[in-house]
Structure 1
């Protein structure tokens, strides 16, 4: 099988969740949330804040390589910041042409650039020229802003600009995250450019993964929200591709996986408290549990129990009540 990549997900999958998901295993690489570039040269601490893995050889603690993503619309500023980032020795630099968030799009960044292939090409050319050849430069795009009329042109602009590989999220900006993902368009883009293309969008199960590869013709697949909802998805995909009849044991597997996830929920909770203010920590936990409940019935009960809670101590007591090992929760108290 090809490579499995963990997608960047602003506000959802930061370094804490990357640590948990890559520790569970199955991913060949991950991409950080974007570092926003908007008119100034960012200090090294900004890159390290978004991607602290830079201080660990650009890898998670489980050893998974982490590519750092940049988002911006000015070629010169993007190039200067890419050079600054390159001094921290990332395993790769990715350029964001797909974020649909209104706060980003209002300033012409992210997916809004899909209306301007020429600027996209200039950004890639500038970044590629500013970064040592040994550091790969890749790009991530959607199919367009409102429609797919410029999808091929955008992909070719990125390839001509010097991107070494391309991830295609198989929806437009206006589609947001609504299904379906238009995998057939990824196939057209793959056929139109001379660089490797990775498919992204609506992979929630091993069967989705197989269909995505069949339709797109891509060897590599990037997983985003499906990985957050099912932290064992990458491992399930690898097992499924070698033994397709494993679905018969799926329910038993999910029960076992929930038991295995409980200690990691505790570690997630502890790490989150080191990253955000105490008032915000319960919200981060609820955000992940809300995603997990689509996969695990046990997560539904835990989510309902912690949803009304606001404090650290009461949240910890509820986690322990639902099976999270207390020794994992004590790490937070000692920190």
Structure 2
């Protein structure tokens, strides 16, 4: 199984839509919905996970699991119950976000220093959500170090998480290479639920190495899939033809159309250039386009110059 990771401010419903059209992705996870001290209105859930309005699936038919982030067990459970009524494929709980602003307000990876609280949050959410709706969790190896990673994994699974995604770095590691895939193997051996390995998978060779070191068959792709939208297919079928630039351009055009429909005009050009920046890693054409267009802030001009045949 290959999952598509969320990336706050980048891999949202618009990019999920386009990337899942390429193929190879079995399931997506949404960006986190921040839960503090109130019951969220439905519009908050559907704004971040608009797939809730279409049976919990992207237009390509790929299921989307909605993700919650917070530290209050009761408030998390109440919001999870309300979210469950909207029919998501499942509910995921975020204990991996390394952002300082999130951690400062007791969210994400900072909770990995409190395994007992992790257990309580998952257990309370699991009791509040109908049994047919899966509850999963995502964690890193730890906050400042990995000394409590096993405690955290056992706490999450003991609380009722039916699946565990492990990002193979601590919060202190951030996104700096390498990812410590081998450290996931200990966690996988200790729990009885599926474990999905995540972190620093950019190529099919990375995927093979990650599977070998983590002992996980299942993977979650994030930045690697943004940089190479054909990565999931390439992992599934080594040696298959790569997604060409000419095949990618219509997908980029469709993505930009979605951006122009959902994003404020002043931010539209930035969203396309943001994706181009990632694509530079895999496509020489993206490097050339990015260098030519990086100072262009007009959505109309970007449209005309990058997609002239449909402008």
Q: Which residue of 2 aligns with 1:94?
A: 92
Q: Which residue of 2 aligns with 1:258?
A: 245
Cα distance, 1:268 vs. partner?
0.5
Q: CA–CA distance in 2 between the matches of 1:102 and 1:284?
A: 23
Aligned residue pairs: how many? 311
Q: Which residue of 1 aligns with 2:258?
A: 271
Aligned match for 2:190, one of 181, 189, 192: 192
Q: Which residue of 2 aligns with 1:21?
A: 19
Aligned match for 2:3, one of 2, 5, 13: 5
Aligned match for 1:314, one of 290, 295, 301: 301
Cα distance, 1:315 vs. partner?
1.4
Q: CA–CA distance in 2 between the matches of 1:313 and 1:62?
A: 28
Q: CA–CA distance in 2 between the matches of 1:239 and 1:260?
A: 18
8 Å CA contact retained: 1:272, 1:284: yes
Matches within 5 A, 1:1-335: 3-240=1-238, 246=239, 253-254=241-242, 257-321=244-308, 325-326=309-310, 329=311
Q: Secondary structure at the match of 1:221?
A: strand
Q: Hey, which bits of structure 1, 4+ residues long, moved more than 2 A? A: none
Q: CA–CA distance in 1 between the matches of 2:177 and 2:226?
A: 17
Q: Secondary structure at the match of 1:96?
A: strand
Q: Secondary structure at the match of 1:304?
A: helix
Q: CA–CA distance in 2 between the matches of 1:140 and 1:21?
A: 21
Q: Secondary structure at the match of 1:168?
A: strand
| TM norm structure 1 | 0.91
Q: CA–CA distance in 2 between the matches of 1:274 and 1:37?
A: 27
8 Å CA contact retained: 1:305, 1:318: no
Q: CA–CA distance in 1 between the matches of 2:28 and 2:247?
A: 22
Q: CA–CA distance in 1 between the matches of 2:259 and 2:101?
A: 24
What do residues 126-160 of structure 1 show as CA deviations (whole Å, max 9, x unaligned)? 10010000000000000000110000000000011
Q: Which residue of 2 aligns with 1:243?
A: none
What do residues 227-253 of structure 1 show as CA deviations (whole Å, max 9, x unaligned)? 00000001111111xxxxx2xx8xxx4
| TM norm structure 2 | 0.98
What is the RMSD of the two structures over their aligned residues, measured on CA atoms?
1.0
Structure 1 unmatched ranges of 5 or more: 241-245, 330-335
Cα distance, 1:320 vs. partner?
2.5
Q: CA–CA distance in 2 between the matches of 1:125 and 1:192?
A: 19
Q: Secondary structure at the match of 2:92?
A: strand
Q: Secondary structure at the match of 1:274?
A: helix
Structure 2 unmatched ranges of 5 or more: none
Q: Secondary structure at the match of 1:198?
A: strand
Q: CA–CA distance in 2 between the matches of 1:308 and 1:30?
A: 33
